[in-house]
Amino acid sequence: MDKIVILDFGGQYCHLISRRVRDFGVRAEVIPSNISEKLLLADKSIKGIILSGGARSVYEKDAPKFDKEILKSSIPILGICYGHQLIAHLMGGKVLSGKSGEYGLMNLNIKNGTEILARFGKSKNVWMNHRDIVVKLPKSSVCVASTEHSKIAAFANKKQKIFGVQFHPEVSHTENGDRILKNFVIDICKCKKSWTSTLVAQNLIRETRKVIGNDKMIIGLSGGVDSSVAAALVGRAIGKKLIAVYVDTGLMRDSETKFIKKTFRRKNLNLKIVKAEGRFFNALKGISSPEQKRKIIGKLFADIFYEISKKERASFLIQGTIYSDRIESGLTKHSSKIKSHHNVGGLPKNLKMKLYEPLKDLYKDEVRKLALELGLPKEITVRQVFPGPGLAVRIIGEITPERVKIVRQAGKIIEEELRETEFWKNIWMSFAVLLSVKSVGIQGDERSYKYPVVVRIVESRDAMTANFSKIPFSILEKISTRITNEIREVNRVVYDITNKPPATMEWE
């Protein structure tokens, strides 16, 4: 198959670029930025190279670089953000730290709407996330777009087919950003389409059989789409050698254990339900640090899985880890750790089991497509995302049974009200966050001093970026009224109107 490779400079959106390329039906692969020109060009299926963004400056001593000889190849190259700056720097241009950074949506003015910017329009809002800027172009390159603070926001070297854009076309915030990537992949690189969900499923089933062999495996089943798809894939590959383990941590959403029993008992799955509420609450007692919570929960999950693996003589642990979990946990050499997902950064180093993550390079919407390909029921494929550590990361401060009950009930109310609206189908996540402070209120003509609850409702395409949902005030007011009426410990409700970035989906 024709292939696009993405050189990874540690940007949070690096794998998102490959995700977008696969949307066009073209195979994409992320590889380390320090690969040699000789090794890279030995792969004759490569039709184009994309340089990702990154958090560093091109002038930093240990800033990630790539083999300059690659620039002399005949393969088309596109640099994004840091990649844009690095190309300009290595080819004789000049990069400086800007007087002010550009973070968020900026208006891009197109000077030359051909090749990389073909059919993009004359002016668009694009997503910026940088401080350094290109101030002087290499020879034979021309500026094709600019913003207020970046006079060279995009450039093109048509002869060598080398292009750079300072903004991020791969994130959903950039208007018509897919057009730029499609121009590069389809029109400039001439890639043929050959990547489908059917092919992904077949490859993963084949890979699983090769990795596992005749060993027994257990899978951490949460009831979410990720672990359910992983279970379906592995189940098709190895059959009854797979044991599904659901751990009731006491931190799950309302009636979750009942849902798991109903949904998976009928799937002819070897399902084991472990009641571990006491273990989790005892381990989390007195803990308020988000990172500590995640690591404690990750270790407890690993301990429970290991206990079961010894009884069942299973050597592998399967997890439904997806790419967004890994990149936020500090996946690559140059990427920042945002938070330790319990199934990645929260796992102990001495796991005592072999770990297999069949979905590790996929995004949530790709996993949902796989769910449909595998014939999973609608109640699984359309479920809202729920964090692995459960309600522990929706409670700011210490975890107690009382506080878990509050945030669980509030979350249930939010979902109940939104399900009845036209907005439900576009919502990625909707949940409550319980704060550690209390506020003064008036209830029943008396002073009250109780918890405030934050309502968080977001829309997203892939979890790497998100927008808060513009829910009408009438619906939010109904949610607020129900929460303060039905939950005795709450007297105030606020709505979170922050996008990702700068925020994350969850508060912890």
Q: Which residues are catalytic?
A: 81, 168, 170
CB 334 within 8 Å of CB 295:
no
Q: Give which of 242, 241, 247 is closest to 222, Cα–Cα.
A: 247
Query: Residues near 27 by Cβ (< 8 Å), separated by ≥ 6?
Result: 1, 2, 3, 4, 21, 45, 194, 195
Interatomic CA distance for residues 142 and 189, integer angstroms:
20
Q: Give which of 79, 258, 203 is closest to 153, Cα–Cα.
A: 79
Q: List phi, psi (to 5°) of 140.
A: 75, 0
DSSP state of 316: E
CB 8 within 8 Å of CB 30:
yes
CB 285 within 8 Å of CB 440:
no
Query: Residues near 259 by Cβ (< 8 Å), separated by ≥ 6?
Result: 223
- Dihedral angle computed from the Cα positions of residues 19, 24, 28 and 33, in that order, rounded to the nearest 10 degrees: -70
Interatomic CA distance for residues 434 and 507, integer angstroms:
10
b/e map of 134-166 (b: 16 or more CB within 10 Å)?
beebbeebebbbbbebbebbbbbbbebbbbbbb
Interatomic CA distance for residues 488 and 234, integer angstroms:
45
Query: Residues near 204 by Cβ (< 8 Å), separated by ≥ 6?
Result: 233, 358, 359
Q: Give which of 131, 18, 32 is closest to 335, Cα–Cα.
A: 32
CB 364 within 8 Å of CB 324:
yes
DSSP state of 377: -
**Terminal alpha carbon distance of the chain:** 41
- Helix H or strand E encompassing 261: helix 256-265
Helix (H, G, I), strand (E, B) or coil at 253: coil
